[in-house]
Amino acid sequence: MHDERRRIEERAERLHNQRIKPALYAATVPLTVEAWQAPGEPVPFEAASAASYEPFAMDTPWGPPWGTTWFRMRGQVPAEWAGRRVEAVIDLGFVGDWPGNQAEALVHLTDGTPLKAVNPLNQYVPIANPAAGGEEIHYLVEAASNPDILANDFAGPTHLGDVLTAGDKPLYTFRRADLAVLDEEVFHLDLDLQVLRELMVHLGEHEPRRHEILHALDRAMDVLDLDDVPGSAAAVREVLAPVLARPAHASAHTISGVGHAHIDSAWLWPIRETKRKTSRTFSNVTALADEYEEFIFACSQAQQYEWVRDNYPQVWERIKKSVAKGQWAPVGGMWVESDGNLPGGEAIARQLIHGKRFFIEHFGIETKGVWLPDSFGYNAAYPQLAKLAGNDWFLTQKISWNQTNKFPHHTFWWEGIDGTRIFTHFPPVDTYNARFSGEEMDRAVRNYAEKGAGTRSLAPFGWGDGGGGPTREIMERARRLADLEGSPKVVVEHPDTFFAKAREEYPDAPVWNGELYLELHRATYTSQARTKQGNRRSEHLLREAELWATTAALHASGYSYPYEKLDRLWKTVLLHQFHDILPGSSIAWVHREAEAEYARVAGELEALTAEAIAALGGGGARVFNTSPYARTEVVRTSEGAPAYVHVPASGSAPLAAAEPPQPVTVDGRVLDNGLVRVEVAEDGTLSSVFDLRARREVLAERGNLLRLHTDLPNYWDAWDIDKHYKNRYTDLLEAEAVTVTEADPLVASIRVERSFGKGSKITQTITLRAGSPRIDFATDIDWHEAEKILKAGFPVDVRAPHSSAEIQFGHIQRPTHTNTSWEAARFEVSGHRWVHIAEPGYGVAVINDSTYGHDVSRTVREDGGTTTRVSLSLVRAPRVPDPEADQGRHHFVYSLLPGASIEDAVAEGYALNLPLRVADAAGAPEPVVSVDGEGVTVEAVKLADDASGDVVVRLYESRGGRGQGVLRTGFPLAGAQVTDLLERRLEDAEVADGGVPVTLRPFQILTLRLRRG
C-alpha cells in the first residue's frame, strides 16, 4: 500500500478546522447590547441593575485594566428556531485561549440569579433545548477587564499588575453577542474528529490502529458535503462510528478523571477578583453537572467556598445540591492550597483544622486527602500532619517540574520525619488542567512509573489557574475515551475512589523518605521579603495572643476568651499563605494588600495580648515569656534601660534585675562577654568570633560577609534562582562608618553603615548581650537594586557532613556535599528559624526572625581544615510579575550562635522570634502548662474550639530523639485525652500526680485536651 498519511492527515485537518468547526452554529441573530462602566471597584448586582446604560456596538473597545463593565443584552428567539438547541454566544474580545487572566464575565438574569460564566473556552449560555420559539432574552453581564499579565511570556516587566499603575486604556474589543442555534450533529462530529485525529497522531507509525483510523478519516471526508456540512454530518459520523466503537485493550491503563478548576486564591489578579472567579467557575460547574450525570468535580480551598457562600448565595445553594447528589466532591481539607515549605507547623495544622471543619459543618463530609497540585515543594512534616487530621492520601503534581532529576515514582508511600507514611500519588499526565487530549493520554501512559505493579492514575481535568473548569467538550472527550482501542480507558470518579483502588492494587508501593523538594522555584523562599516577614510575625503573634488569652480565661474573672476574633485572624493569615502570595510570586497589587493586612493583623493581635495581660490585674512591671523554654537574658524596660532577668517557660516573672555572670566589655571594635569575643573589622565584617568556653575560633574567614549577586534566572523571575547566580557577585567591603553605639555592662553594639549599587543602603547593628553567646545582626536595608540577590555568609571552621534546618515540628538534615545530582540540585533550600551545622563535639547555629532561603556549602582549605559556609538569602529584586518587588525599606534580625547544640538552636529560635514582653501586671499565675523532661516542646496553648473550656496543648519532640517528660498544669486537672488535630478524642491520656506523663518518638506531634477540675 502506498504511504498517503501526509495527504490524509492534512486533508482531515483542513476540513475539520475550516469547514466543520465554523458550522457548529447553524443560524445566528445579534443581541441588542447596552453598556455601563462601573466606577472604581466592582459593585453589587443591585447597583448595576439600577444604573443607566448606553447603546453599545460590536467591535467597540471596552474595559480599562481591572475595570468592570456591565452589559445589558436583549433579544428574542426566532419562531422558526422552534425545536432547536438555542444558546447565547458571547465573545468579549478574548485573547488567546487561557481563561484565567483576561476578559471574563458572569451572566445574570434580571432578578440577579447568576446563570453561567463566559470565557475564551466557554462562550455559550444555554437558553432552550428544545426552544419553543419566541423566548424573550434579557441578561445583565458583569464583565471584568483583567489585563493579560502573561502577555509576552514573562519576558519583561509590566505595570499592569496594580490598579494604581495600570492606566485606563481599554484592553479589549467586543466581538460578538448573538443568539445561535447549536447544530448538535456537527457538535458531536467535531468531537469525534478531535478524539480520533489526536489518538491517531500519538500512535506509533507501526501500529495498525493508526492506519485504521487514518483511512476511516479519509473515507469520512469523502462523505462530507462541503456545501452542506450540517446535512452530511450524520453520514460522516456513521463512517467513523466503527473505529470509535473498538474497545480498549484488556491491559490498557485506566485514568480516573475528576473535574477540576484550579483557582489561585491570588496570583496575577488580586483577592477581590478571585472572589468573582469562584462565582464564575462554580456557576459553570453546577450547570455542567445538570447536563452530564456522570460528572464529578473535585474542589479544594474552604476559603473559596466561604466567599461564594457570603457573596453569591444562589451559587452556594447550587453547590450544596451538587454535593448532595454526589457530583461535587470537596477535597483537600485545607483553608487554602497553601505553600508547602514556608508556613509554620502550627499554621499548617490550622490549615487542615479550618478546612476540614468547614466541610464537615456545611456538607457533613470529612475529606480524606490532601490536595496540593501546585505548591512549590512539600515539607517532611506533612505526612504526620495529614494523618493527624484524619487523611488517608496526598496528591500533588508539581514535582514533575524538576529542573534536574526526574522523580522516580507516581504512586508511593511518603514517609515523614517522624516515620508516619501516607499514600501519595503524582498524576503522570503531568497537569492539573487536563482536557483528555491525545497528547495528554499518550503522556500519561508513557510517563507512568508503576507499570507492571499498578494499572491506574488520576487526571484532574478542566481549565485552571485562573479558573474556568471543565467544559462540555472535555466531558464529551471523556465519554469517547471510556473504552477506545489505542487509548487508556477513562472513567470519571471521586478521588477517594481512585485512591482506594490504587492502594488496593499496590499496597507495597515504594517509599520516599523526607521532603519532596522541588528542583525549581527556589527563589520563592526569598521573594517579597515583607510578605514573608508579615507571615512569620503573624504566626508568632497568634501564638502569644492564644497563650495569654488562655491564661486570662483561666485566672481572670470576667474575661472572655476571644474565640471569634482569633478565628477570623487565623483565617486571614491562612489565606495569605496561599501558594502564590506567601512565596512572593504574585502581582504588585496582591503584595501591597498583603502588607496592609499583616499590619492590621499585628495591630489586632497586639491589642488582644495587651487586653489579656491587663485582665490579670495591675501591680508592677512583669516580664512575659511566650517561648516554651525558660529564659535568662537581657530585656529592655519600658524606659528603654536594659535589665537581666529570668523568666519561666510560657510564664512571667517580676522585672527584677539579676546579676549576669559577667558584664560585656568594649575595647575598640572588640566585644567580649566572657562567653564569646567578637572582633569587627574596619570594613564592618567579623574578623573573628572566638568561643571562650570551647577555646576555639569559630570563623574560617571573615564573617557576616554581605555579597551582592547578579540574579537573572532563565525564566519565572519571582519564582526561580538558577545556579549561575553564584558566578557573578560583589562583596560589600566598603563601610562608611563603623561606630560603637552602646557600651552598657549588659549590652554592647556596633553599627556598620554601607552604601552600594543604585542608591541602596544597609545599616547593621551588631549586638552582644551579657550571659548569651548569641550575636545579633539587626539589619535595616533601603533597597533599590534590580535583578540582584543579597546574601549574608558565615564561613565556619567546622567539618559538617550535613546541615540541619528547622522545618515544621522538627528539622531536616541535608548533605553538605554534592556527590549526586539530587544533592547538587539543592543549592538553595528552605528553613525556618534556624540552620545548624556541627562536627562531633561542636556546633554553630544561624538564627533568623523572618528569612527562609539559604544555602550551605563546604570547601577544604590548604591547611587541611574544612570551611562550612552558611549563607542567608536576605532580599531579592525580581521584576516579573511585580516590577517593584522588594524595593524600599526592610528591617529584620539574624544571629550567629557559637557552640550551639540542636537544643540551643531550637530554644534561641523561639527566643529571637518571641521577644520578652514587659507589661504592668499583678503577681501572675503559674504557667498554663509546663514540661518536666527533655526534648518535649510546647507549640500551642489555647482553649478548645468548641468553647467547652477545655485547654488544648500541642507538643512535639524537637531534637530528633526520644522525648520523655511530664506535662504539668497551672490549674486543677480533672482528666486528659489524646486527640487528633480537630480536637476529637483518640484515646484517654494517663494522669498521674496531677500531671500527664508524655513519651514521644522522634519528631512526634501530640495534641492533648485537658479537662479542668
Provide the annotated active-site residues. Answer: 374
Q: Burial-class residue 39 by CB neighbours within 10 Å (0-12, 13-18, 19+).
A: exposed
Instruction: Provide DSSP, 136-155.
Output: EEEEEEEEEE---TTGGGG-
Helices first, then strands: H and E counts in the chain: 18, 55
Residue with cell 496592609: 596
Q: Cell numbers 485537518 label which residue?
A: 13
* 3-class secondary structure, 94: coil
Contacts made by residues 818-826, CB under 8 angstroms, sequence distance 24+: 821/404, 821/405, 822/404, 822/405, 824/404, 825/402, 825/403, 825/404, 825/405, 825/517, 825/519, 826/517, 826/519
d(CA 364, CA 356): 10
Cα angle for residues 396, 398, 401 (degrees, 5° grid): 150
Locus of grid cell 465573545: 91
Query: Looking up cell 464529578, which residue turns up?
Result: 296
Residues contacting 564, CB < 8 A, separation 6+: none
By the 8 A CB rule, do 524 and 585 touch?
Answer: yes
741 contacts: CB under 8 Å, gap ≥ 6: 749, 750, 751, 765
Tell me the Cα Rg of the chain.
31
Q: Considering only CA atoms, which of 435, 431, 438 is closest in space to residue 476? A: 435
Give every CB contact of residue 451 below 8 A, 6+ residues apart in sequence: none
From CA 468, how far away is CA 262, in angstroms rounded?
Answer: 8
- The backbone region for 771, taken as left when phi is positive above 0, alpha when psi lies in -120 to 50, beta otherwise, is left
- Of 918, 921, 915, 909, the C-alpha closest to 551 is 921
Nearest alpha carbon to residue 338 among 317, 319, 354:
354
Cis status, amide bond into 881, omega within 30 of 0: yes
Nearest to 593 by CA among 576, 578, 580, 609: 576
CA distance 842 to 694: 8
Give Cβ neighbours of residue 739 (< 8 Å, ≥ 6 apart).
750, 751, 753
Alpha helices in 556-587 (DSSP H): 563-575
Please state the separation of Cα 141 from the chain's center in Å.
Answer: 32
Q: Which three cell numbers stand for residue 186?
A: 456537527
CB 622 within 8 A of CB 924: yes
- Beta-bridge partner residues of 328: 297
Burial of 746 (0-12, 13-18, 19+ CB in 10 A): buried
Host H or E run for residue 934: strand 929-934
Q: Looking at 580-672, list the stretches that DSSP marks H as alpha helix, in order from N- to C-terminal side.
A: 588-615
Give, as one character, the DSSP assignment of residue 586.
S
Best CA proximity match to 286, nearest among 109, 86, 469, 130: 469
Cα-based distances in Å from 450 to 370, 493, 506: 21, 21, 9
Pairwise CA distance, residues 898 & 1001, whole Å: 28
